[in-house]
Amino acid sequence: MSFINETHDNSLTSWVASANQSGTDFPIQNLPFAIFRRANSSEEFRGGVAIGDQVLDLAIVAEAGIFSGEAHSAVTAANAAALNEFMGMGQSYWSALRLALSRALREGSDHQNTLEGALVPQSDVEYSMPCHIGDYTDFYTSIYHATAVGSLFRPDNPLLPNYKWVPIGYHGRSSSIDVSGQAFPRPKGQTKAPDADTPSFGPCKRLDYELELGIYLGKGNELGEHIAIENAENHVFGFCLFNDWSARDLQAWEYQPLGPFLAKNFASTVSPWIVTTEALAPYRTQWTRDENDPQPLEYLESAQNRESGSFDIQMDVAIETQKMRADNHAPSKVSESSFKHSYWTVAQMVTHHTVNGCNFLPGDMLGSGTQSGPDHEEAGSLLELSRGGKESITLTNGEERKFLEDGDTVIMRGWCEAEGFNRIGFGSVEGTILPAK
């Protein structure tokens, strides 16, 4: 488990001036990882670290030979077209490199002259997927989302009996996950109207977003081995923003009895930066379970998880329509929520996922499930905000939406704030809907 250390000190400043500006997502206390190259170039993609409005090129850092021991091994592994090898090295290597980077980027560092030439403006780069995601599992951890959606279909019994006992998830499709900027055609499939005798085929009419976090696994486990809850977060490299696009009309027809299929596998979008679990240490909160609810079974329970198993990660969603772009109108914010409302913790998800002997590989990802808060305005999907398509959402330019239309871009942001610590952010994840082919 990650704890507070010198890298979280809010008095730290960087010789990279933009990292010291108020409101930046990427102060020296953050230092997230991505895979990048200069935009429209033939350069190889390689590892980078965000600092202010710059990317620190890890290829140059590795070549400079300024680090030693585990930090040197880690930066060498991170200088690659994907971060899987670095992610698989384990927590001591992640922490060693984070500390070395923090010291090298601090005001007064002896390495300033060496590293000034390793900075590339973020405005001049393009990103690739940060790692190869071999497997991806989407969870369903927001009880507020589960209740709101369940009430649309089962008003008298919105939560199924297993929800409060077991972290619910399904295995998703990793091949259609892409990095922020993804544009994809509206999916087609079978739907069935309530008053129709037979289903019909055609473009989805109820396209939606889902406000989620992506949780990247680092060091894996052997097939047949269970990761105990006390050790679960040692296997979690970091977090990103995640938009799990959903075709609600396809989903309604196909999801029983085996769950989501074509409604979910056509596109999913991740933010380029992975914020490490260690960077999130100041924003941990207590995890509680209502005393009237079933308490977790023993393998999902620990004092450590109760004390600091939740993360207060703030997130919001905005929609930018084609008309907004034409009129130079700012995107319209539609909701805001927090991961602290999650009914299950990251450690519980990891532990439950492996309790049957399932093996993780470095770069595997978990989706948190749609993160909705207790109030209607904190809903993480249009399905909830529109109350199942019964009410329109009015955007700031007067346009209305029940579900997404062609040309809409969805923008999600994430950030953390806590008294006594610097604000850190995740950047954003953006995706745009194209007309059906």
Longest CA–CA separation in the chain, Å:
74
163 labelled binding-site residue: no
216 labelled binding-site residue: no
Catalytic residue among 111, 145, 235, 341: 145
147 labelled binding-site residue: no
Q: Judge whether 209 and 182 are in contact, CB under 8 Å.
A: no
138 labelled binding-site residue: yes
264 labelled binding-site residue: yes
Helix, strand, coil percent content, the chain, rounded in steps of 5: 25, 30, 45
Rounded CA-CA distance 78/58 in Å is: 7
Alpha helices in 46-111 (DSSP H): 58-64, 69-78, 84-87, 91-105
Instruction: Tell me how far CA of residue 183 lies from CA of 33, 180, 347, 369, in angstroms.
Output: 23, 9, 33, 21
Mapped onto helix, strand or coil, the DSSP state of residue 415 is strand
Rounded CA-CA distance 60/403 in Å is: 46
354 labelled binding-site residue: no
192 labelled binding-site residue: no
Catalytic: 226?
A: no
316 labelled binding-site residue: no
Residue in 274, 313, 239, 235 with CA at minimum distance from that of residue 49: 274
Instruction: Tell me how far CA of residue 254 lies from CA of 199, 204, 238, 259, 260, in angstroms.
Output: 11, 13, 33, 7, 7
154 labelled binding-site residue: yes
Strand partners, 425: 415
Exposed/middle/buried for 356, CB within 10 Å: 0-12, 13-18, 19+? exposed
With the C-alpha atoms ordered 397, 23, 141, 86, is the resulting torsion angle positive or negative?
positive
Cis peptide before 257 (omega within 30 of 0): yes
Binding-site residue numbers for Mg(2+) are 244, 264, 268
Binding-site residue numbers for Ca(2+) are 138, 210, 212, 244
Binding-site residue numbers for substrate are 140, 154, 251, 255, 370
Binding-site residue numbers are 138, 140, 154, 210, 212, 244, 251, 255, 264, 268, 370
Q: Which residues are catalytic?
A: 145
